[in-house]
Amino acid sequence: MKSPNRALKRAQIAFSQAVEAGDWSSAVAALDPLIEAAPGNASLHYNRALALRLAGRPTKGLAAAQRAAGLDPSNIKAVFEIGACGLEAGEIEVSLAASETCLASDPDDGDAALNAARAALLLGRPETALAHLRALPGNAIDVAHRLAESEALRDLGRLDEAERLWAELAERSPAEVLSLRTKGARGRIGLSVSHLVPARHDQA
């Protein structure tokens, strides 16, 4: 008869190995017996949410993140995953609310600000997107933030400012800049694969 403790230890090892390999589907599978053994462990549900999103299953990831946050409302990583999963799952209002909660906890969180800006743009609220992006310190801003800022400026009709940003970004992100320049005020940025996945916090 297998020892439960030994089986759980194997699951922990399998999870760590799957994360190391970037095999998120296997990471999800490894977490299942751990969650079955400790269903009230918020950290496990958070890790499941992260793994599910990175495995391309954001709707299930959202449910796992909401479960984690319900078990431990102080777990800001779980709230971040609600925002990240919600953005990919099409739950845009949910995503924006969660990302803004993260920003209330840490106004310098560049990942949460980017998710909030993307959600706000999808909801047709460019002024909200711009406010979140411009509240960040310089060391939290990268190309993705600048592209989102230019989209917000475009949607606000501030085309001279948008053009200045596009001129700065054209060499590094030509496809994205071309997409922004050629789409109308309600167009949406044509992101590369690397930009499609919301930036993620480390697993617990």
Q: Residue 5: which pLDDT band, with cuts at 50, 70 and 90? A: confident
- Segment 11-37 shows an average pLDDT of 95
Model confidence at 194: pLDDT above 90: no
For 113, which DSSP code?
Answer: H
Q: Residue 14: which pLDDT band, with cuts at 50, 70 and 90? A: very high
Q: For the chain, first and last CA: distance in Å? A: 32
Q: Residue 191: which pLDDT band, with cuts at 50, 70 and 90? A: very low
Give alpha helix (H) positions in the chain.
4-21, 24-37, 42-54, 58-71, 76-89, 92-105, 110-122, 126-134, 143-155, 159-169, 174-182, 193-196
Q: Residue 195: which pLDDT band, with cuts at 50, 70 and 90? A: very low
- Backbone angles phi and psi of 157, in degrees to 5: 80, 15
Q: Residue 201: which pLDDT band, with cuts at 50, 70 and 90? A: low
Q: Which residue has the tokens 């109308």?
A: 184
**Count of CB atoms situated within 10 Å of the CB of 125:** 16
**Which amino acid is residue 194, in one-letter code?**
S
Q: Tens digits of per-residue pLDDT, 125-138?
A: 999 999 999 999 99
d(CA 197, CA 194) in angstroms, rounded, equals 6
pLDDT at site 204: 53
Share of the chain above pLDDT 90, in %: 85
**Count of CB atoms situated within 10 Å of the CB of 95:** 28
Q: Which residue has the tokens 């993260």?
A: 102
C-alpha closest to that of 184 among 160, 204, 154 = 154
Q: Tens digits of per-residue pLDDT, 74-119?
A: 999 999 999 999 999 999 999 999 999 999 999 999 999 999 999 9
Q: Which residues contact 177 (CB under 8 A, 6 or more apart)?
A: 147, 150, 166, 169, 170
Q: Which domains does the chain have, with CATH numbers?
A: 40-196 (1.25.40.10)
